[in-house]
Amino acid sequence: MSASGNQRSRPSPSRWSKRRTRWLIVAVLLALAIVPEFFVTHYAHFESLGIELDARFGFYAWYSFFACGAMIAIAKLLGIFLKRRDSYYDE
């Protein structure tokens, strides 16, 4: 709705390339984060209870991604009901 939002959705060609580099860096970083997974063994924190989910391959990576996605989705959903104009209480 705001002006800045509109500008961001119509990026200039130069920003496109910037954005591509950014994604590239992110991809490399993520790869770097996953690669050592082959060499490191994680503890299963609740071994005694028979829960070994947290010791599976890449657990922290996908868990983090989906947890964050869920939190953003929930926030977005609640925002529909909870958001009010900035000056709501001043009226």
Angle formed at CA 72 by CA 71 and CA 77, multiple of 5 degrees? 95
Residue 28 as a binder of other proteins (CB under 8 A): the answer is no
Separation of alpha carbons 84 and 19, rounded Å: 33
Among 8, 18, 20, 56, binds other proteins (CB under 8 A): 8
Q: Which tokens belong to 2?
A: 């705001």
Residue 10 found at the interface with other proteins (CB under 8 A): no
**Measured in whole angstroms, how far is the alpha carbon of residue 78 from the centre of its chain?**
18
- Residues numbered 63-82 forming contacts with other proteins, rule: CB under 8 A: 63-65, 67-69, 71-76, 78-79, 81-82
CB of 44 to other proteins, least distance (A): 9
